[in-house]
């Protein structure tokens, strides 16, 4: 290499390093490296990503900026990421300037093969139209009734028998029986959401925990889709074109899922058409039988079969993992906080004593919870909310920046960059939740007298998103989680299996890395019943005592 070439190389390196120095001075987050940007830090903290982000946000006051690729022309736009958990910024992004922060082209491209232009993968008018239709359905009591029917059936005919068998085996000392509660809950919520989404039960929680072809294909398709987040878009697009690796798995799995749903849609259209052509009584019966979301969308307008498939898949993806993951962390937290468990069990017993009578506790276990009973479980709802504060099902989310903007804290975000809002960190900031922000304390969600649930601002507690995209199924999710949690804790005491390590899995959803191995023991309600009866007797004596 001659002197002139060396001089050009040295000059280019010097110019780049001067540019990089100016770039890095303007970034407030963790260390960035030449060319690689923040990628070394992301790789180093791949196993504790959410805690690492939370630590960075605490050090920077709730917002920082970093660069994924430190390359001129890219770094200040597509490579720039603003990370925040400041409630003011969250309200700005999720509500005040909603139109400036869509999901964006990258997110849409990653999920398009699986979710198409469904409600959770679309922006603009496409999203608005689906949101309006879905919002109308989610406010109906009939959908709530349908959810309760599916959940109660799965709990009492499938989940509880499995837990009772494990408890009986432990009591008889036949063997040390553990159950993977995370797996059971995933199966239960998958069966429920499929029933609610398109009226079919895949029976993954049936005796023996059978494999289901549709469920397996859906899992493989989801895993392959999430794999795209690991690689640059150009790389996974190339692999897709060549038919290599996980892209082949994705294509085959999506084809299987589409084939299954196409058959469901075809059959449902015939059933609805037959109902519409029948006598009035038959039509009424058919309508009552088809109270799933797919049938409701069919009745609302003329959707293509492909659009209906995407409707079903979007709701399955949103409704399965989120509730099951939240419940897994809930049962773990409750099992490690006995005083919280005692309060939940007492509330369950008091509620059932009022509605079903204290004289015969067997009646408490004889039938599923009613809506009214579930609505009275305010401490249980507080414990579930506290779980979601500390362990949100979706720990991080991101938005694309359409036009240059300034966040309320003064941070400038250029067009083409992205904003990541850390839901995990938002629930763990002392500036928002106080010095005890890392403690599991359901009381923070209750009124001073402990009788009323008091929700927090949705931009401090972002587990259900906020603004126009706030989760439509929030109330249904609480209904399902309260039903499952109450039914299990009323009958069983759970304990983490000896030696089992509970760790976070790095994924878009906050799974437990090794599942949740739990010991199952029968619940002895006698002490609680005696306490309730004693309190009732004392209240009666005070009410009948003569005045002094």
Annotation: binding site: 471
* C-alpha span between 417 and 74 (Å, rounded): 9
Q: Which of 220, 252, 237, 254 is nearest to 109 (CA)?
A: 237
Q: Which of 146, 155, 213, 223 is nearest to 184 (CA)?
A: 155
As annotated, the binding site for heme includes 471
Contact 39, 32 (CB under 8 A): no
3-class secondary-structure state, position 110:
helix
Helix (H) or strand (E) holding 494: strand 492-496
Collect all residues with Cβ–Cβ distance below 8 Å to 151 and sequence separation of at least 6.
192, 479, 480, 483, 484
Instruction: Quote the DSSP letter at residue 469.
Output: G
Residue 7's Cβ-count burial label (10 Å; 0-12, 13-18, 19+) is exposed
Instruction: Look at the chain and count its residues.
Output: 548
Q: Which of 302, 305, 311, 329 is nearest to 196 (CA)?
A: 311
**Main-chain phi, psi angles of 520, to 5 degrees:** -115, 125
Region at 62 (left for phi over 0; alpha for psi -120 to 50; beta for the rest): left
Contact 309, 327 (CB under 8 A): no
* C-alpha span between 309 and 314 (Å, rounded): 9
| CA atoms 434, 438, 442, 445: torsion sign | positive
3-class secondary-structure state, position 451:
coil
* C-alpha span between 23 and 17 (Å, rounded): 10
Q: Which of 511, 396, 309, 403 is nearest to 100 (CA)?
A: 403
Write the CA distances from 342 to 223, 239, 348, 448, 532, integer angstroms.
38, 53, 10, 19, 13
Torsion of CA 416, 422, 423, 425, to 10 degrees: -160
| Bridge partners for 70 per DSSP | 35
CA gyration radius, the chain: 26
């Amino acid at each position: 290499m001659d002197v002139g070439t060396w001089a050009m190389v040295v000059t280019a390196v010097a110019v780049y390093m001067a540019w990089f120095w100016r770039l890095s001075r303007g970034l407030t987050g963790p260390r960035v490296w030449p060319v690689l940007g923040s990628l070394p830090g992301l790789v180093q903290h791949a196993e504790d990503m959410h805690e690492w982000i939370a630590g960075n946000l605490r050090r920077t006051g709730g917002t920082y900026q970093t660069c994924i690729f430190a390359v001129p022309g890219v770094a200040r736009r597509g490579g720039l990421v603003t990370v925040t958990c400041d409630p003011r910024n969250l309200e700005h992004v999720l509500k005040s300037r909603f139109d400036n922060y869509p999901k964006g082209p990258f997110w849409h491209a990653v999920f398009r093969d699986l979710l198409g232009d469904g409600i959770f993968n679309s922006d603009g008018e496409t999203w608005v139209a689906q949101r309006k239709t879905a919002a109308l359905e989610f406010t109906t009591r009939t959908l709530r009734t349908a959810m309760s029917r599916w959940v109660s059936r799965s709990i009492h005919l499938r989940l509880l028998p499995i837990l009772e068998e494990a408890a009986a085996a432990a009591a008889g000392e036949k063997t040390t029986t553990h159950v993977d509660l995370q797996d059971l809950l995933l199966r239960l919520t998958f069966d429920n959401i499929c029933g609610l989404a398109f009226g079919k039960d895949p029976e993954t929680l049936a005796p023996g925990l059978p494999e289901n072809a549709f469920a397996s294909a859906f899992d493989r398709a989801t895993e392959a889709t999430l794999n795209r987040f690991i690689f640059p878009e150009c790389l996974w697009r190339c692999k897709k074109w060549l038919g290599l690796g996980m892209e082949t798995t994705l294509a085959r799995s999506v084809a299987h899922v589409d084939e299954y749903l196409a058959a469901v849609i075809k059959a449902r259209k015939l059933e609805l058409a037959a109902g519409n052509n029948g006598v009035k009584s038959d039509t009424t019966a058919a309508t009552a039988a088809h109270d799933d979301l797919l049938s409701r969308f069919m009745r609302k307008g003329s959707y293509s079969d492909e659009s209906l498939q995407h409707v079903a898949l979007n709701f399955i993806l949103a409704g399965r993992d989120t509730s099951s993951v939240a419940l897994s962390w809930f049962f773990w937290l409750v099992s490690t906080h006995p005083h919280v468990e005692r309060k939940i069990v007492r509330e369950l017993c008091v509620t059932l004593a009022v509605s079903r009578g204290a004289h015969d506790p067997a009646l408490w276990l004889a039938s599923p919870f009613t809506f009214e009973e579930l609505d009275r479980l305010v401490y249980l709802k507080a414990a579930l909310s506290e779980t979601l504060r500390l362990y949100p099902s979706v720990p991080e989310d991101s938005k694309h920046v359409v036009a240059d903007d300034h966040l309320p804290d003064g941070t400038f975000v250029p067009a083409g960059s992205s904003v990541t809002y850390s839901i995990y960190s938002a629930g763990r900031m002392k500036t928002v939740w106080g010095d005890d922000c890392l403690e599991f304390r359901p009381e923070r969600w209750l009124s001073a007298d402990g009788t009323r649930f008091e929700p927090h601002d949705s931009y401090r507690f972002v587990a259900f998103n906020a603004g126009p995209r706030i989760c439509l199924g929030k109330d249904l999710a609480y209904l399902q989680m309260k039903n499952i949690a109450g039914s299990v804790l009323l009958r069983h005491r759970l304990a983490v299996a000896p030696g089992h390590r509970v760790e976070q899995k790095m994924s878009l959803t906050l799974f437990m890395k090794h599942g949740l191995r739990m010991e199952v023991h029968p619940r002895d309600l006698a002490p609680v019943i005696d306490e309730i009866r004693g309190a009732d007797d004392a209240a009666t004596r005070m009410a009948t005592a003569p005045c002094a």
